[in-house]
């Protein structure tokens, strides 16, 4: 158990509304990630963070923003949700140092109607 929680676990929202997903970790790991999972695509990186207020884009960052004001929390915001953003969103952490693997949270299922 990597001590990662995601909230909410399920959300249904309407097109055009803003949505914020939260990832919380309990072990003060430096690196945090947001992925989306879609059938036939595996997981694709949206954004990641390598420290408080330090973030970078992944391969599918358009329409998403992130913030990390505390080590333990990494927020993903859909500025104006679209149906193409219906997906399962996973948060992950990487302890850093000589540890290169990532550990994943339980996921958030988001439906945009």
Contact set with other proteins (CB under 8 A): 31, 33, 40-45, 48, 50, 58, 90, 94, 99-107
Phi-psi group of 97: left, alpha or beta (phi > 0 → left; psi -120 to 50 → alpha; rest → beta): left
User: Among residues 18 and 106, whose Cβ is nearest to other proteins?
Assistant: 106
User: Among residues 8 and 106, whose Cβ is nearest to other proteins?
Assistant: 106
Shortest Cβ 56–other proteins spacing (Å): 8
User: Among residues 14 and 100, whose Cβ is nearest to other proteins?
Assistant: 100
User: Among residues 16 and 97, whose Cβ is nearest to other proteins?
Assistant: 97
Shortest Cβ 72–other proteins spacing (Å): 18
Shortest Cβ 82–other proteins spacing (Å): 23
Shortest Cβ 90–other proteins spacing (Å): 6
Planar angle of CA 70, 9, 36, nearest 5 degrees = 75
């Amino acid at each position: 158990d990597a001590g990662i929680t995601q909230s909410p676990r399920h959300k249904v929202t309407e097109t055009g509304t803003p949505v914020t997903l939260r990832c919380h970790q309990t072990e003060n790991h430096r690196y945090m990630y947001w992925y989306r999972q879609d059938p036939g695509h595996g997981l694709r990186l949206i954004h990641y963070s390598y420290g408080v207020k330090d973030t970078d884009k992944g391969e599918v960052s358009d329409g998403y923003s992130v913030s990390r004001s505390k080590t333990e929390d990494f927020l993903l915001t859909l500025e104006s949700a679209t149906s193409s953003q219906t997906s399962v969103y996973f948060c992950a952490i990487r302890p850093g140092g000589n540890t290169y693997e990532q550990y994943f949270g339980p996921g958030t299922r988001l439906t945009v109607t």
